[in-house]
């Protein structure tokens, strides 16, 4: 159909203006082939490899690679390999002297890090900061400070920053850079000054939901390699989530899907920050677990460390608090599995360190409420830890660059 739509109606031949579209599409295909080639980290494709992977002619690939090298996206790795036939080829790689910045504002910290185009997190800075109830301006000023540090460090290492992604724990409108609602920050309808973060980056900074970013990081760098379809649940102060279907994030009609923390798991349950009650977050959010475990108020990192000690020492209240969270996570996952036909669950954020105690309770709950639907082998714990949201925000920016390389190349 799309062939017909772009082409003359009878012959299917593209209008002259479409030749430029084809060139752009081919630049993307070459980059996609380079990303795919990275499944073996030691492999550096030659121009001939890329021709064979894309179906393009070697002459086309040479011309396209020259453009990508000029644009700074691709670099010759220096190593030469024997081609199957003819002259030895020069290995190519995504240019690691170009990068994107991942950023995160959470309730009790902010962070920023540099991901190079090769997919390596080169710099990662985190600053503890009690952001709940702070003005967006003051938190953004703090963030701009550490982003400036990351940018300076990148510059010193000779790495040019192309774009960035910022993850926040709330519902966002990416197109306008607005946080519609972040209850745990007490922000509502806030338009963030994203342009100030990376003023020189050609792809700018894009706003994302934190849990969606963590789900994407899991997809690209974690258990997404095992499962194509799963519910990702991230424990932070709130409980966020992401729905991965066919190895893509399901965003929902307004881009706000995945609010698993506000699924109702106990109709008579306690009041929630969202205005409802009995939400998953009221049993599996940090405050719920810490207070059920009898851990006194304090900073989240200190309380999380204390919970870890109590669990390791066999403390009954701590074990019971985590098991209760696991039971309600299982109820939400059972309902999600039935509703959306998802048969795997991956847990991240603060659930990761609780994994050994949480997972058995969650598995029992799934067996009780959705028997035969989600097997024990399909409940996994993320290993990405606290960098997941930042990594997903950076990865989104990286993908935006690789999907629009023509923004950096001259038009033909």
Binding residues for a copy of itself (CB under 8 A)? 1-4, 6-7, 9-14, 18-19, 21-22, 25-26, 28-29, 54-57, 59-60, 228-229, 241, 243, 245-246, 250-260, 262-267, 274-278, 331-332, 334-336, 338-343, 368-372
255 DSSP 8-state letter: S
Q: How far is the CB of 406 from a copy of itself (least distance, A)?
A: 13
Query: What value, to the nearest 5°, has the Cα angle with vertex 197 and ends 110 and 140?
Result: 45
- In the bound state with a copy of itself, the residue whose beta carbon lies nearer, of 3 and 316, is 3
Is residue 313 packed enough to be buried (19+ CB in 10 Å), middle (13-18) or exposed (0-12)?
Answer: exposed
Q: How far is the CB of 32 from a copy of itself (least distance, A)?
A: 9
β-strands 205-209, 160-168 pairing: parallel
Question: Hey, which residues does 178 pair with through a beta bridge?
Answer: 173, 191
Region of residue 351 (left: phi > 0; alpha: psi -120 to 50; beta: else): alpha
| CA proximity to 276, closest of 258, 264, 284 | 264
Q: How far is the CB of 4 from a copy of itself (least distance, A)?
A: 4
Helices (H), 203-246: 210-221
- In the bound state with a copy of itself, the residue whose beta carbon lies nearer, of 97 and 324, is 324
DSSP letters for 157-195: TT-EEEEEEEEESSEEETTTTEEEEETTTTEEEEEP-GG
Q: For the chain, what is the largest distance between any 2 Cα atoms, rounded to a whole number of angstroms?
A: 75
Q: Could you identify the residue written with the tokens 């847990």? A: 347
What is the helix (H) or strand (E) element at residue 347, kind and residue range? strand 345-349
As a whole number of angstroms, the distance between CA 352 and CA 366 comes to 18
Q: How far is the CB of 97 from a copy of itself (least distance, A)?
A: 28
Q: At a CB cut-off of 8 Å and minimum separation 6, what does 25 contact? A: none
- In the bound state with a copy of itself, the residue whose beta carbon lies nearer, of 131 and 363, is 363
Q: How far is the CB of 115 from a copy of itself (least distance, A)?
A: 25
Q: How far is the CB of 150 from a copy of itself (least distance, A)?
A: 33
- In the bound state with a copy of itself, the residue whose beta carbon lies nearer, of 4 and 410, is 4
Buried b (16+ CB within 10 A) or exposed e, 40-70: eeeebbbbbbbbebbebeeebbeebbebbee
Query: Count of alpha carbons within 13 Å of 121, Cβ hemisphere only?
Result: 19
Q: How far is the CB of 52 from a copy of itself (least distance, A)?
A: 12
Q: Could you identify the residue written with the tokens 């028997």? A: 371
- In the bound state with a copy of itself, the residue whose beta carbon lies nearer, of 288 and 391, is 288
Q: Is 261:349 a contact under the CB 8 Å cutoff?
A: no
Q: How far is the CB of 120 from a copy of itself (least distance, A)?
A: 28
| CA proximity to 382, closest of 170, 171, 240, 245 | 240
Q: Is 214:177 a contact under the CB 8 Å cutoff?
A: no
Q: Is 278:268 a contact under the CB 8 Å cutoff?
A: yes
- In the bound state with a copy of itself, the residue whose beta carbon lies nearer, of 233 and 358, is 233
As a whole number of angstroms, the distance between CA 125 and CA 327 comes to 35
- In the bound state with a copy of itself, the residue whose beta carbon lies nearer, of 12 and 356, is 12
Q: How far is the CB of 151 from a copy of itself (least distance, A)?
A: 33
- In the bound state with a copy of itself, the residue whose beta carbon lies nearer, of 102 and 330, is 330
């Amino acid at each position: 159909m799309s062939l017909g739509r772009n082409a003359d109606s009878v012959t299917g031949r593209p209008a002259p203006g479409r030749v430029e579209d084809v060139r752009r599409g081919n630049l993307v295909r070459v980059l996609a082939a380079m990303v795919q080639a990275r499944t073996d980290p030691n492999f550096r494709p030659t121009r001939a490899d890329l021709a064979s992977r894309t179906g393009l002619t070697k002459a086309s690939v040479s011309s396209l690679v020259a453009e990508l090298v000029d644009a700074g996206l691709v670099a010759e790795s220096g190593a030469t390999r024997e081609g199957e036939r003819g002259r030895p080829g020069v290995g190519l790689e995504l240019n690691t002297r170009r990068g994107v910045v991942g950023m995160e504002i959470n309730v009790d910290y902010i962070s920023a890090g540099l991901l190079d185009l090769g997919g390596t997190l080169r710099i990662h800075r985190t600053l503890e900061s009690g952001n709940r109830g702070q003005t967006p301006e003051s938190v953004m000023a703090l963030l701009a400070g550490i982003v400036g540090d990351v940018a300076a460090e990148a510059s010193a290492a000779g790495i040019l920053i192309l774009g960035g992604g910022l993850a926040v724990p709330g519902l966002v409108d990416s197109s306008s850079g607005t946080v519609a609602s972040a209850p745990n920050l007490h922000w509502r309808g806030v338009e963030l000054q994203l342009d100030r973060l990376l003023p020189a980056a050609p792809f700018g900074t894009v706003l994302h939901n934190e849990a969606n970013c963590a789900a994407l990081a899991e997809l690209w760098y974690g258990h997404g390699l095992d499962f194509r379809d799963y519910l990702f649940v991230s424990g932070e102060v709130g409980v966020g989530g992401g729905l991965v279907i066919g190895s893509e994030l399901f965003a929902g009609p307004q881009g706000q899907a995945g609010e698993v923390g506000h699924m109702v798991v106990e109709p008579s349950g306690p009041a929630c920050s969202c205005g409802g009650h009995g939400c998953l977050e009221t049993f599996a959010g940090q405050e719920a677990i810490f207070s059920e475990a009898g851990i006194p108020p304090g900073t989240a990192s200190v309380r999380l460390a204390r919970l870890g000690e109590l669990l390791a020492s066999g403390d009954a209240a701590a074990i019971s608090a985590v098991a209760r969270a696991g039971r309600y996570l299982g109820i939400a996952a059972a309902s999600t599995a039935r509703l959306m036909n998802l048969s795997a669950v991956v847990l991240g954020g603060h659930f990761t360190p609780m994994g050994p105690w949480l997972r058995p309770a969650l598995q029992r709950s799934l067996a009780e409420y959705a028997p035969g639907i989600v097997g024990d082998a399909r409940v996994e714990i993320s290993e990405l830890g606290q960098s997941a949201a930042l990594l997903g925000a950076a990865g989104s920016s990286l993908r935006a660059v690789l999907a629009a390389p023509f923004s950096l190349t001259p038009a033909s």
